[in-house]
Structure 1
Amino acid sequence: MAYDLELAEQIRQALASHVEFSERKMFGGLCFMVAGHMCCGIVDKQLMARVGPNQYQDCLRLEFASEMTFTGKPMKGMIYVSPEGLLEAKQREQWLQYCLNFVHSLPPK
């Protein structure tokens, strides 16, 4: 599975203004790693947002969010955000903030 190169670049630019990160190909797409943890990723044209278990239900209620069912079952703490929910920089920033909040709550690897 491929990933949207334009969205990947937009996420790179947004993350670069907040944290140091690296990239790794995973889940058939591109993942962004922060402090050794997967923060978010791009699969096809969707953002794969790692929001964590505490924010999961609230984030699922947001427009353009859906369960990540990569394995056939919902992965708690992981959400897909459809392309329509990522058109504006403000939308991407909001989702990245959810991801960064969770990743910063984890011990560094």
Structure 2
Amino acid sequence: MAFNTLLANRIEKLLSRAEQSFETRKMMGGICFMVNGKMCIGVHEDRIMARVGPDQYEEALQQAGSMAMNFTGKSMKGYVFVDGNVVDTEPQLEYWVDKCLIFNPMAKSSKRK
């Protein structure tokens, strides 16, 4: 599945500017940015996948263009999709990148199979 490479490049620049070391991994039909070995933020089609954590989940859902992240018929609590149209400006995208980076140290790593 294709993903918005322009949006992915913008996220990559923000992570680099924040002096975060990260790696990219193709997964969930898009690309994910892994920080500290954990999924932090990603791009799926023309929207971002933001891992904000369970404590910030309800607040994140109240933001413009956000919706529950759902791949399997069940919402993934702590993760939201954000429509790419609402992150057109640098401050808008930086808001979500920052939310994800704040949660990342508390996030649990997925067990490798």
Give the shorter-chain TM-score range: over 0.9
2:6 maps to which residue? 6
2:83 maps to which residue? 82
Structure number with higher strand proportion? 2
Cα 1:103–1:94 shift into 2, 3 Å: same
Query: How far is the alpha carbon of 1:37 from its aligned partner?
Result: 0.5
Q: Tell me the percent identity.
A: 40
2:26 maps to which residue? 25
Tell me, yes or no, if the aligned pair for 2:53 and 2:107 is still in contact at 8 Å.
no
Secondary structure of the structure 2 residue equivalent to 1:68: strand
Alignment of 1:1-109 (within 5 A): 1-18=1-18, 19-106=20-107
Structure 1: unaligned runs, 5 residues or longer: none
Q: Distance in 2 between matches of 1:88 and 1:53?
A: 26
Q: Distance in 2 between matches of 1:41 and 1:52?
A: 14
Amino acid at match of 2:29: G
Query: How far is the alpha carbon of 1:43 from its aligned partner?
Result: 0.3
Q: Which runs of 4+ in 1 moved over 4 A?
A: none
Q: How many residues align?
A: 109
Query: How far is the alpha carbon of 1:85 from its aligned partner?
Result: 1.4
Structure 2: unaligned runs, 5 residues or longer: none
Query: How far is the alpha carbon of 1:73 from its aligned partner?
Result: 1.1
Query: How far is the alpha carbon of 1:108 from its aligned partner?
Result: 7.7
Query: How far is the alpha carbon of 1:54 from its aligned partner?
Result: 0.5
Query: How far is the alpha carbon of 1:105 from its aligned partner?
Result: 2.2
Secondary structure of the structure 2 residue equivalent to 1:54: coil
Q: TM-score, normalised by structure 2?
A: 0.91
Q: Distance in 2 between matches of 1:85 and 1:26?
A: 23
Q: Distance in 1 between matches of 2:61 and 2:87?
A: 15
Query: How far is the alpha carbon of 1:107 from its aligned partner?
Result: 6.6
